[in-house]
Structure 1
Amino acid sequence: MSSKITYYPVDNGDQSLISVEEDNYTTNILVDCRIRETSKGSTDPTQYDVKADLLRTLRKRRINDVEGATYVDIFTLSHGDDDHLHGFESNFYQGDPKNYKKKNKDDGEIFIDVLWFSPMVMGTATNDDERCFNKEAKRRIKLHRDKSADKDLPGNRIVIIGYDANEDLDGLNLVRKVPGQIITRFNDRDLKTFSIFIHGPYQQHLSDEEVDKNRVSVVFQARFKATATSAGFCTLAMFGGDADHHAWKFILEKTKQKGNDVKQQALSWDLFLAPHHCSWTFFNDCPQDKNPTPVATSLKVLDYKRGVAKVIASCKEILNNDDNPPHYKAKEQYVKKVNGENFLNTATAIKSGKTPQPIIFEITAQGPMRAKKTEGSASVAGGSALGVINQPSGYGSK
């Protein structure tokens, strides 16, 4: 099997699965989630059953005395807005991993080995799923801060992305990664064909008195090599949550200042997940009619595309109206850069009857290739912690 990236159709929201095949093991990294109750069990033919797909796709193992428990290596939260975390409380196991029981499996709760998040988990939650996520993150943080003997068990592992001014997170540098760093160790495994370059958030974005959650989204570049000895990357995929043009301007400037646009190809991309569900906020402030000109820095970010690059818009169908997100004018800007056939809307790109299907890219030596076929039914198709490499020393360090 090959490595792949799956972009799920969840209307205006994000849920992506990065699956890395190496040494006969699949490392699964789930980026955000939007699991709606109405999508389960094919009760609504216009909604894809993303939960059933996760239960079918993710690996299974024995946890405590429970055989065949479904788990994900890493759950990465870009930020806590509802459309990136919907369904977390009822679909993922929270609490001491030693208390995971057969009932949790029977209830379809997915076990998370490693939780990735920004320091925003120490702030005020704005929805029930974010409150549950923050509580789970703080439970794990306390184990690491207290140097508990259980802190590195699967189910207790954490990675904090970025700095902020919160003293409660001081002393956690061993599990902290900052912009400018490259991660090669995932869930207690060193990978030779996959890495992640951290782009954001930055300290100043996290320290504002009134924080815009979109602006402090975790931003990263997923990097695949065809083989462990390959000199270059066969696939580069950019993930940016809801980061707006202000955040991307800072990312562009900082990456170029450090020379990582050349040395690390850290701005280059073959796949680009359109920020904020194809919102105009990537190109300029809203409303669009008062800020109709795309800022130069965002257009420059898009110019780092390689070859026949693809933009994926994780949103509902994009219509020519004033809705934002998605925004038709934003789509037009992406199409100018990659052409219409390379702009893919998760709501419309692939359908089986009325049911949108995941957009799946297999990672090949020639680059990302669309999967030739989708397994399963129309509504359910196929689709330990980071070790210490070094102390934080990237752009975001104090």
Structure 2
Amino acid sequence: MQSLENRENAVANMHQVIFYPVGNGDTTQIVLSKGRRVLLDFCHRGKSEDDDTPEIDLKKRLREDLDAADRDYFDVVAFTHADLDHIQGSTEFFELQHAKKYQGDGRIKIRELWVPAAMLLEDVDRDSQTEEFALLRREARHRLLEGKDILVFSKPKALADWLEPLLVARGEAKSARDHLFIDAGTIVPGFSLLADGVEFFCHSPFIKHCDEGDIIRNSAALVFNVRLDADGELYDYLEVGDAEYCDLEEIVSITKFHKNDDRLAWDLFNIPHHCSYRALNDEKGERETTPTPLVKELLLLGKADAYIVSCSKPVPDNKAAYEEVQPPHIQARKAYERYLKEVGGRKFLVTMEEPNATKPEPIVFEVGKAGVTWTRSASIGAPGILVSRPPRAGHGRYVL
């Protein structure tokens, strides 16, 4: 029988990955075994504050999580891109450094902000932009110019052309902020397997995503391999934002070219764009989407006992679902489930379906030496039971 001390040590060595039910939107929190917290995207819908809606009151839940940990900050908040379903409510919840009016009053601090270069470059005058995006762009530019509390992913020429004259005017070298830019194909500084039990390997964006005309947010979004170390066993979480199939094809091709194939394997896969068929192919298919060859290759890199998570509304299998224009798409779900079964994976999970569609709760995975475990509840601290063992890390750098 396991002693109390051993059980406490096992829990202490657990990492957690928590997916929040916010409708067709994304918010994921990584809680590392030593306490550091990384939030990927933020989508709080005002209607969620009513008791009769299924979407979670994200602000309330995250505050409860932080209060329980005696914190008023996240170590990192990463916005994969600037679509509303990835940033909604963020400028009311977080403290922003660029103006005092967005500080204090119980706002949650961001110790380090991670953004794609596109978020600093997009034109806020476009009709499709929101005030929320304009504030986040201002915050990212402020932090970069001040040279603290931010990492920017890729450094396209357009961004250098904006930044460098401002640095010169401040009496600084043009290269004074180079350490704050991260290239695709590299490991993000500030975390390590040894110190934190985690590595963030940047798959995308590439420089060309902002240097070849109009910025397409989904293509210029953050994509990570998150590698978690649990007592010497390595597990891989693929965080993909809203990439489309052509973006995934490029990631697969370039990653293989640089011999970083192990960074494509996954124990946990947050699939793109709320289970849209566009992450698999440009044709939805009548009954099931057929992934392109390179996307199929990525799906087949799932490891035994792996999970797929769709951050989306429920994905029913009925006659009306096959005619849906907007995601989620049942045809895509069937494709994901087919390949998950082929690799010996565990389950395809939908954030707005667990434990039921009436009142869903966060989907919590715990990552420990024994494997990746779905706890089937929102409680933090349940034991893990599954096994999955990835290969050791590779390194690279590419800035296409």
TM score, norm. by length of structure 2:
0.80
Q: Unpaired segments of 5 or more residues in structure 1?
A: 62-67, 145-150, 152-156, 377-391
1:43 pairs with one of 51, 62, 71 = 51
* Alpha-carbon separation, structure 1, partners of 2:293 and 2:379: 42
The reply on whether 1:294 has 2:291 as its aligned counterpart is yes
Report if the CA contact (8 A) 1:30-1:74 is conserved. yes
| Structure 1 position 292, deviation (Å) | 5.5
Q: Is the alpha carbon distance of 1:248 and 1:100 closer, same or farther for their aligned partners in structure 2, counting shifts above 3 Å?
A: closer
1:225 aligns with 2:237: no
Deviation at 1:284, TM superposition (A): 1.2
Find 1:178's aligned residue among 183, 200, 217. 183
Higher helix share: 2
DSSP 3-state at the match of 2:137: helix
8 Å Cα contact 1:81/1:127 also seen in 2 = no
Q: What corresponds to 1:358 in structure 2?
A: 362
The letter for the 2-side match of 1:356 is P
Give the number of aligned pairs: 348
- Judged with a 3 Å threshold, the aligned counterparts in structure 2 of structure 1 residues 256 and 326 are, in CA distance, closer, same or farther, namely same
CA contact (8 A) 2:363 2:377 kept: no
Which residue of the partner structure matches residue 336 of structure 1? 338
1:31 is aligned to 40
Which secondary structure state, in structure 2, belongs to the residue aligned with residue 355 of structure 1?
Answer: coil
Matched, 1:19 2:31: yes
Give the TM-score taking structure 1 as reference length.
0.81
Q: Distance in 2 between matches of 1:8 and 1:76?
A: 15
Match of 1:256 in 2: 256
- Structure 1 residues 195 and 393: alpha-carbon distance in aligned structure 2, compared to 1, 3 A threshold: closer
Contact 1:9 1:48 in 2 (8 A): yes
Q: Share of identical aligned residues, percent?
A: 26
Unmatched tracts of structure 2, length 5 or more: 1-11, 165-174, 381-394
Partner of 1:124: 123
The alpha-carbon distance between structure 1 residues 222 and 393, as it changes in their structure 2 partners (threshold 3 A), is closer
Cα drift, residue 163 of structure 1? 2.6
Once superposed, which parts of structure 1, at least 4 consecutive aligned residues long, lie more than 4 Å away? 96-102, 286-289
For 1:1-398, list aligned pairs within 5 A: 1=12, 2-22=14-34, 26-40=35-49, 42-58=50-66, 70-96=72-98, 104-105=105-106, 109-121=107-119, 122-125=121-124, 126-144=129-147, 151=148, 157-166=149-158, 167-169=161-163, 171=175, 172-186=177-191, 191-227=195-231, 230=232, 232-233=233-234, 235-261=235-261, 265-285=262-282, 288=285, 293-319=290-316, 320-323=321-324, 324-339=326-341, 342-351=347-356, 354-371=358-375, 373-375=377-379, 394-396=397-399
Provide the rounded CA distance (Å) in 2 between the counterparts of 1:134 and 1:179: 21
**Cα distance, 1:277 vs structure 2:** 0.7
Q: Which has the higher strand share?
A: 1
Letter in 2 for 1:119: A
What letter is aligned with 1:273? N
How far did residue 97 of structure 1 move? 8.7
Distance 1:330 1:238 in 2: 18
Matches of 2:323 and 2:272 in 1, distance apart?
A: 18
Root-mean-square deviation over aligned CA pairs: 2.7
The code of the aligned residue for 1:140 comes to R
Distance 1:77 1:168 in 2: 21
After the TM superposition, which of the residue ranges 116-125 and 163-172 deviates more from structure 2?
163-172
Q: Shift in Å at residue 57 of structure 1? A: 1.1
In structure 2, the CA distance between the partners of 1:213 and 1:98, relative to structure 1 (3 Å rule), is closer
- Residue 270 of structure 1 and its aligned partner are, at CA, apart by 0.4
**Greater Cα shift, 197-206 or 119-128:** 119-128
Which residue of the partner structure matches residue 386 of structure 1? none
Structure 1 348/372 Cα, relative in aligned 2: closer, same or farther at 3 Å? closer
Task: Return the letter of the residue paired with 1:129.
Answer: E
Kept after mapping to 2: 8 A contact 1:36/1:86:
yes
Counterparts of 2:236 and 2:373, CA distance in 1 = 12
User: What is the distance in 2 between the residues matched to 1:292 and 1:374?
Assistant: 32
Structure 2 SS opposite 1:266:
helix
Q: What amino acid is the match of 1:200?
A: S
- DSSP-derived class of the 2:337 partner: helix
Q: CA deviation at 1:95?
A: 2.3
For residue 341 of structure 1, report the CA deviation from its aligned partner.
5.7
